[in-house]
Each structure stands twice: as structure tokens, then as C-alpha cells.
Amino acid sequence: TECDTIPGRQCMASCFFLLKQFDDVLVYLRSIRGYFTNDDDFHWNFGIACAAAGEYKEAKDSLMAVQSDKYRSEFCYVSWVCRCHIMCGEPQMAWETYSRLEGSSDAFNLLTIIANDCYKMGQFYWSCRAFDVLERLDADPEYWDGKRGAAVGVFQQVIAGRETPERLQEVVSLLRSTNNPQVEYMINKVIKKWAKENRVNLDLD
């Protein structure tokens, strides 16, 4: 039947793509993947479908295989690659991607993705850095709320031994860049007290 031809399977994949049934998209695209090893359009569509289905490792590999400068310069491509890095536990790679775009019109939107996705994934240090930059660019109190929450997340991870005191020191510096009465309470009444009781050397004065 037509559905068993390569164009037929591409057509079925396109249909399910429009219906946002990405698991079904992947059934068809995986069945013809071997015929499109050097096809940027295929890598792009397969990568987006994988990401939408939560298959972030496979999505990242497919998107990184795209060679076209036109695709790679589009914000949609960059943002999906960033999200895949974060979901694969590589927040630093997402931050490096942002650093290359710093100052561009897309940088703010990419920072928003990094701040929120890193927060969801418990990558609080990187989330805090992203919210800090967002807060400097826009006085929306929502960014302070995100930064404060991420800072608390880093503090909790340090207590649990899953993050370093050096990172907490950096976060304290980020907190101090905000003119908010909550900052000194967090630093002096909470972090400083814990550091003293646990003999953790932090410069908090």
C-alpha cells in the first residue's frame, strides 16, 4: 500500500505531526530513518518529534546532526537544542549556547527557557544565574521570585552534599545584586548561621 512506501510513511508522519501525536510520528520516521542519514530536513523533523515526545537524548543527537547554517541560526533550533541539553543533564552546554547569543534579540527569550527549565530539573545554580540576568534586564518581580527560589534550591543542595560551597558563594553574590530586604535575612539569618554551625568557610561579610 501507499503507506508502506517511503513517501507514504513521510506523509503519515506529517499527518501525525500536525495532530501533535508525536509517538506516532516517531513510529513512521524511525522506520525510514536509514534512508535519510544526511538529510537536514529529516534530522530537524525527527529531532523536534523526539523532543516533543520527551526523548531528549535522541532529539539532541538528531538536532546536532543538522548541518545547515540556516537551520542552526534559527531561534527555534537554538532553543530546542538548549532545552535538550538541560533535559539531558547538561545545563552548562545550554548556558554556553546563551553566551554565544548574548546581546542578540533572542538572548532574553533563551534565558527565560534556561531559567525555567533548569529550575524544573533541579539545576538551581544555572537557574539562579539565568534569573539574575533576567532580573537585571527587566524589573518584573517574577524574576526575583525565581532567583530567590533557585538560590534556596542551591542552599538545600549544598546542605545535602550535592552542590559545592563555592557555588553557594557565587549565589550569595548574585543575591546581593538585588535591592530587596529579603536578601540580608536570607544571607545573615539563614545561610551565615548554617555556615557557622557547620564550619563551612564562606565570605558573607
Q: Establish if 42 belongs to a structural domain.
A: yes
Q: Contact, 45 vs 9, CB < 8 A? A: no
Task: Summarize pLDDT for 10-32 with one digit per residue, the tens.
Answer: 888 788 778 888 888 888 889 88
- Phi, psi of 117, deg, nearest 5: -70, -40
CATH number at residue 9: 1.25.40
Q: Contact, 168 vs 155, CB < 8 A? A: yes
CB atoms < 10 A from the CB of 37, how many? 9
Q: Establish if 185 belongs to a structural domain.
A: no
Q: Which three cell numbers stand for residue 82?
A: 538548549
Range(s) of the domain holding residue 22: 1-66
DSSP letter for each residue of 25-72? HHHHHHHHGGG-TT-HHHHHHHHHHHHHTT-HHHHHHHHHT---HHHH
Q: Establish if 20 belongs to a structural domain.
A: yes
Q: Which of 23-32, 109-118, 189-198 has the lowest mean pLDDT?
A: 23-32
Task: Summarize pLDDT for 128-185 with one digit per residue, the tens.
Answer: 999 999 999 998 999 999 999 999 999 999 999 999 999 999 999 999 999 898 998 9
Res 48 pLDDT > 90: yes
Res 81 pLDDT > 70: yes
- Nearest Cα neighbor of 49 from 68, 62, 36 is 62
Rounded to 5°, angle at Cα 166 from 164 and 170: 120
Q: Which three cell numbers stand for residue 78?
A: 537554538
Q: Please give the mean pLDDT across all residues of the chain.
A: 92
Number of structural domains in the chain: 1
